[in-house]
Amino acid sequence: MNQLITHSNTPSFFTGLYGSLKTYLSKSTGENDMQSRYDKIAAEFYALYTAPDQSTLLSISDPEGNITYVNGNFCRMSQYSFSELIGRPQCFVLHSDTLAGVFTEMHRTITSGEIWEGELKSTDKNGDTHWVSAVTSPIFDESGKPARYISIWKKLVC
């Protein structure tokens, strides 16, 4: 069943989208038609958002690499709460083996505006290690510079 996106059940990352969408629809249609169109678009967006959110670990970082958003799966695997992860460097959850080589390559790739793909070894709050397949991509600002980075991880079963 589709669920309407509201401010109370939407992650902070998507709250801005909600406002932008509502503003766009109110300008492009009459007020009566706006809610109907908004409901349809919101339901479709919610469906598109929830499928990957159920099966992947998602994090978003600022240009300095500090975490600004993680989904529930990321918190579950890392054993850290949302509030414990926000503001921390993305490398906070990576194993020291990863930091020695792969992270440097990944950082160089994404800061140059390219997409990085590979495997990462992470460490959870309890000290257990997990291997993930990762894709990290820059999100560009209006001037074409990386403004944020989105990382999508899939836990590997070994």
- Total number of domains in the chain: 2
User: If pLDDT is split at 50, 70 and 90, which confidence band does 107 have?
Assistant: confident
Specify if 27 maps to a domain: yes
**Percent of the residues in the chain that have a pLDDT greater than 90, as a whole number:** 42
- More confidently predicted of 155 and 55: 155
Please tell me whether residues 75 and 149 are part of one structural domain: yes
Provide the residue range defining the domain that includes 45. Answer: 12-54
Please tell me whether residues 74 and 151 are part of one structural domain: yes
pLDDT score, position 55: 74
Please tell me whether residues 19 and 37 are part of one structural domain: yes
Tokens representing 72 are 């529930």
Mean pLDDT of the 54-67 span: 89
Alpha helices in the chain (DSSP H): 12-28, 31-55, 72-78, 82-85, 96-100, 102-111
Please tell me whether residues 36 and 78 are part of one structural domain: no
Please tell me whether residues 125 and 76 are part of one structural domain: yes
Please say if the pLDDT value at position 11 is more than 70. no
Please tell me whether residues 90 and 42 are part of one structural domain: no
pLDDT score, position 62: 93
Give the amino acid at 46.
Answer: Y
Question: Among candidates 156, 149, 157, 155, which has minimal Cα distance to 70?
Answer: 149
Give the range among 23-32, 65-74, 106-115, 128-137 with minimum mean pLDDT: 23-32
Specify if 2 maps to a domain: no
Specify if 6 maps to a domain: no
Largest CA distance in the chain: 58
Please tell me whether residues 33 and 62 are part of one structural domain: no
Please say if the pLDDT value at position 20 is more than 70. no
CA distance 118 to 106: 9
Please tell me whether residues 26 and 84 are part of one structural domain: no
